[in-house]
Amino acid sequence: MYKTAGTTKLSDRPLAIPSERAVRLRSAFLAAVACLAGLLLQGCSSPPHNPSGGPVVIQYWEKWTGFEGDAMRAVVDAFNRSQSKIRVEMLTVSQIDQKMLLACAGGNPPDVAGLWSYNVNVYADKNAILPLDDYLAKAGIVKEDYIPCFWDMCEYRHKVWALPTTPASLALHWNKDMFREAGLDPERPPRTIEELDAFAEKLTKRDSSGKFIQMGFIPSEPGWWNWSWGYFFGGKLWDGHTKITANCPENIRAYRWVRSYSEKYGAQQIQLFRSGFGNFSSPQNAFLSNKVAMEIQGVWMHNFIEKYAPKLRWGAAPFPYPSDRPDLANTTIVESDVLVIPNGARHPDEAFEFIKFVNSQYGMELLNMGQRKFTPLTKVSPEFIRNHPNPYIRVFIDLARGKNVYATPEMSIWTEYRDEMNAAFDDIWLGRLTPEEALGRVQARMQKKLDRELARLRRIGKKGFED
Amino acid sequence: MKDAVEVFEKPLKPKKRKISPSARRELTAALLFISPWIVGLGGFLMYPIAASFYYSLCEYSVLQPAQFIGIGNYVDLFTDEVFWKALGNTFFYAALSLPLGLVLSVAIALLLNTGVRGMAVYRTIFFLPSLMPVVAMAILWLWIFNGDYGVLNYAVSSSTGWISAQVAGLGRFLNQHGIESVGRALQAAAPILRIEGPPWLTDPAWSKPAFVLLSLWGVGHAVVIYLAGLQDVPAHLYEAAELDGANWLQKVRYVTLPMISPVIQFNLILGIIGSFQFFAAPYVMAPNGQPARSAYFYTMMLYDNAFPYLRMGYACAIAWVLFVIVLVCTLVALRVSSRHVHYEGM
C-alpha cells in the first residue's frame, strides 16, 4: 500500500485526499490549457515587430516559380540591398488568389501579394485589398506613367487598387517553316480573318486514313481565351455598367466563325488530333512540335520556344481582323500580373515602399527583362528594347499601346461569366447548340447574376456601375 | 420492469438534486477530462454545421458580413439549369458506377476466396490501386483515356482488330471451300467488328462513362471488406448445401450472398455517399466539367461557388441540398435492401 512517496504523503493527511486530487487535476489541466494556448498563440503571433531597431520584415506572396520566380527574386534582392529599413521575404505560393483570400478572411494576410489583373475588381468589391490612392499621391506616381490599358486594369470604381508588374498582350504566332512548306510566304502572316482561314486550309494536312497530321489554325487551341473571340469581331461582353452583351451580333458572328472550323474539319477529328498534343510546357506543345501552324499566344510564348524548340523559325503579328472591319486591326487582349496590399496587412506603408521600388523604371526593366516580357511603363530605356531577347517584343508593346485593347471585364462576377462562356464555346464548337442559342443562354443567366450582384453592392453601400 | 422505472424516476422529479462537494469535484474533473472532445465536437463539427445552415440562408462572400436573404439561395438553386445538369450528371455516374462496382467487387472477392495459391499476393494487387493518391491517379487516367495515344483505346482497337482479322480469315477459308454465302457475310462483317475507342474525355457522350470506368479502379477497397465477410461464412452451411447436392452457383446464391448481405449493404451505403461526393478526379481531369459541362459533378459546382465565385451562402445551400439527397437515398437504400439482408442469429 505504501509503495510510493506520493501515497505515503497522502496517507499522512487522509482527510485532504479529495481536495489534493482535485488540486492536482486542476493544475494538470491548467498546464495542458496553457500549453495549448501557448501553441495556438505562437501559431497566430505576428513576426516580431522591429524588436531591436532592425529592419521591418514584410511578407510577400508571389505565384512565380522557375526563371520567372528568379527574376522577381532578383528585384527583391535589389530592394533589400538598396536600403536597410525594410526587408522583403518572398514566398512562392500556388493558387495564390484563393490562398490570399482565405488568409485575409483568417486575419493573417501577407503584406504584399502578386495577383492577376482579373482579381483586382473582384477583390476590391470584397474588401480584400487596400486602395493605393493616398500612397500614389505621396509617391508622385500618376496614370501618365503607365501604358493606359495596364493602369486601367488597376483602377476600379474611381480608385487604384494595384500596380502592374509583368504585362502581356496576345498576338498571332506563326511557324515560318510550315508556311514555306505549304507554299506560303514565310514572312507574311495573314492580315484578315479571311486570309487566316485560307492560309489555315493550305496548312492543313491529313494522312491516308483522314486523320490530321498538321493543322493551320484551331480556334480552340490553346483554349485559354475561348471567351474572348467576340472582341476580335468588334463584340463586347458587357456595356461596362449594367448590361451583359453576350449575344450581341458581333459575338454571334465571332462564334459562327469558330463553329465554321469544327464544321469544316469535323469537331471529333479535331478533338482526336488535339488529344495527341503534349503538355503546354513541353516539347510536345502543339505549336512547338509543328502540329499547329498558327496560334494566338502571349508575349511569354517566346520563352517556351527558346526552351523547347530553339530551332523553330517563327513570327508574331497582330491577330487578323474581319476584312469588312478594318477598324478592328491590331485588336489584342491584355492581362498583367499585379501587386496588391491585402486588407489587414501589418505593414502597409513598408509594403508600398516595395511596390514603389518594383514600379520604378529600374525595377520594372530588371523584372521584365528577367521574365522576358515588356514594361508597363511609358518610359522605356532604349537598351531594354535593344537587348530584349524576344525579336518581336515591339509587336507586343505596340499592340498594348493601341486602341483596340481589351482586358477581362471589370466585374466581380467575371469568374462565373468566363466559365459560362467557356461552356458555351464547347456547346458551339461541338455543334450541340447554335451560337444564338448558346450565347442567348449565357446572356440570360449572366444578366440575372449581374442584376443580383449590383443589388447586393447597393445594399452593402458600394456604388455600382450606374455612374 | 415497470416498477423499476418508476422507482428510478421518482428521485429525479423533485426540484434540484443535491450533489455532495466531492461528487461535484469528480464531475468537474470528468468534464475537464472530456473537454477536448466536447470542444472538438462543438467547435469543429456542430458549430460549422449550424453555421453552414445559417449561411445557406444568407448572401455571404466570406470577406463581407453575411446578409440574411431567407430561402433565396434555395429558390435560385432549383431554378438554376447548371444545378440540374450537375445533379443529372451525378445521378448518371452513381447509377452506373454503384451497381458495376458492387458486382465487380463481389465477383473479385468470390474468385479470391476460392482458395487459390498466393491469395495474399492477389489480394494485395487488387487492393493497391485504392492506395494511390487521387491526383496522381487522375493524371495517369488522363493518359489512359487519351483518344489517340491512350492505352485503353489501343487495347480496344488491337483486340477487336485481332477478332476482326480472325473472322475475315474464317470467311476467306469458307469462301475457298465453297460455302460462299456464309463466307461473304463473314468477310463483310469483319471490318465492323474492329472498334476504335472513342475520345473518352473530349466527347460529351463518353466523358461520364469514362469516369464510371475510372471508379472501378478503386474497387479493391470493397473487395477486402467482402473477403473478410466471406471468411466469416460458416463452413458447415456449405457442407450442408453440398450434401443436398447444390452446385457452385446455388451455393453462391443461397449460402454466400445471404450470409454476406450485411456487408453488401454496408458497402452499398458507403458507395452511395461516396459517389455523390465524387470530386477530386473530375476536378483534375475535367476542369469546369468540360467538354460542355458533361462531366460537371455536383461537388464541383459546390466548390466553384464556394471558392472561385466566392458565393459561400449559395455553396452552403448546395451542400445542404446534397445532404438531403444523400440522406434520402441512404434511407431508401436501407429500407429496400433491408428486406434482403440476413443477419446471422436474428
ipTM of the complex, rounded to two decimals: 0.81
Tell me, yes or no, whether B185 and B224 share the same domain.
Answer: no
Q: Is the pLDDT of residue B107 over 80?
A: yes
Tell me if B280 is assigned to some domain. yes
The three-state secondary structure class of B256 is: helix
Peptide bond into A148 cis (omega under 30): no
Res B161: pLDDT:
87
- Supply φ then ψ for residue B203, to 5 degrees: -110, 120
Tell me, yes or no, whether B232 and B326 share the same domain.
Answer: yes
Res A49: pLDDT:
52
Residue in B28, B148, B307 nearest the CB of A272: B148
**Structure confidence by residue, pLDDT tens digits, B225-267:** 999 999 888 889 999 999 998 888 899 889 999 999 999 999 9
Q: Averaged over B80-105, what is the pLDDT? A: 94
**Structure confidence by residue, pLDDT tens digits, A115-149:** 999 999 888 888 889 999 999 999 999 999 999 99
Tell me, yes or no, whether B255 and B328 share the same domain.
Answer: yes
Is A104's CB within 8 Å of B63's CB? yes
The three-state secondary structure class of A212 is: strand
| Domain housing B182 | 149-198
Instruction: Return the amino acid letter for A355.
Output: I
Is B290's CB within 8 Å of A426's CB? yes
Give CA–CA dist A105/A181, Å, rounded: 57
Q: Is the pLDDT of residue B335 over 80?
A: yes
Tell me, yes or no, whether B158 and B221 share the same domain.
Answer: no
Q: Which residues of chain A have a pLDDT value below 50?
A: 1-18, 41, 43-48, 464-467
Q: Is the pLDDT of residue B19 over 50?
A: yes
Tell me if B219 is assigned to some domain. yes
Tell me if B100 is assigned to some domain. yes
Shortest CA gap A14–chain B (Å): 14
Q: What are the grid coordinates assigned to A436, written together?
A: 444564338
Res A29: pLDDT:
57
Res A455: pLDDT:
86
Res B15: pLDDT:
58
Q: Averaged over B121-129, what is the pLDDT? A: 88
B204 to chain A: closest CA residue: A430
Tell me if B174 is assigned to some domain. yes
User: Chain-centre distance of CA A227, in angstroms?
Assistant: 15
Tell me, yes or no, whether B324 and B233 share the same domain.
Answer: yes
Tell me if B63 is assigned to some domain. no
Res A355: pLDDT:
96
Where a domain ends, among B160, B176, B198?
B198
Residue in A25, A272, A343 nearest the CB of B32: A25
For helices B257-276 and B312-338, the axis angle rounded to 10 degrees is 170
Q: Positive or negative CA dihedral for B124, B126, B130, B136?
A: positive
Tell me, yes or no, whether B133 and B247 share the same domain.
Answer: yes
Task: Please report residues of B whose CB lies closer than 8 A to that of A416.
Answer: 309
Tell me, yes or no, whether B236 and B308 share the same domain.
Answer: yes
Tell me, yes or no, whether B177 and B84 share the same domain.
Answer: no
Task: Please report residues of B whose CB lies closer than 8 A to that of A271.
Answer: 147, 199, 202-203
| Residue in A97, A271, A413 to test binding to B, most B beta-carbons within 10 Å | A271
3-state helix, strand, coil in chain A (%, to 5): 50, 15, 35
A413 to chain B: closest CA residue: B309
Is A419's CB within 8 Å of B288's CB? yes
pLDDT band of B20, cuts 50, 70, 90:
confident
Tell me if B237 is assigned to some domain. yes
Tell me, yes or no, whether B184 and B264 share the same domain.
Answer: no
Longest Cα–Cα distance of chain A, Å, equals 108
- Nearest CA-CA partner of A272 in A212, A224, A221: A212
Q: Averaged over B205-219, what is the pLDDT? A: 91
Tell me, yes or no, whether B122 and B270 share the same domain.
Answer: yes
For A288, residues 6+ apart whose C-beta sits below 8 A from its C-beta are A304, A305, A308, A309, A312
Res A85: pLDDT:
93
Tell me if B211 is assigned to some domain. yes
Tell me, yes or no, whether B243 and B129 share the same domain.
Answer: yes
Tell me, yes or no, whether B217 and B206 share the same domain.
Answer: yes
DSSP 8-state assignment for residue A318: P
Tell me if B44 is assigned to some domain. no
Residue in A101, A268, A413 nearest the CB of B63: A101
Number of domains in chain B: 2
Q: What are the grid coordinates assigned to A56, written together?
A: 521591418
For A302, residues 6+ apart whose C-beta sits below 8 A from its C-beta are A316, A372, A389, A390, A392
CATH of the domain at B137: 1.10.3720.10
Is A25's CB within 8 Å of B29's CB? yes
Provide residues of A within 8 Å CB-CB of chain B. Answer: 18-19, 21-22, 25-26, 29, 98, 101, 104-105, 122, 126-128, 268, 271-276, 343, 413, 415-416, 419, 422-423, 426-427, 430, 432, 441, 445, 456, 459-460
Q: What are the grid coordinates assigned to A87, written together?
A: 526587408
Q: How far is CA A154 from CA A86, A348, B51, B235, in A?
A: 25, 17, 35, 76
> What is the C-alpha end-to-end distance of chain A, expressed in Å?
87
Res B11: pLDDT:
52
Is A271's CB within 8 Å of B203's CB? yes
Where a domain ends, among B198, B217, B235?
B198
3-state helix, strand, coil in chain B (%, to 5): 75, 0, 25
Shortest CA gap A211–chain B (Å): 10
Give CA–CA dist A268/B196, Å, rounded: 13
Where a domain ends, among B181, B198, B215?
B198
Give CA–CA dist B154/B159, Å, rounded: 8
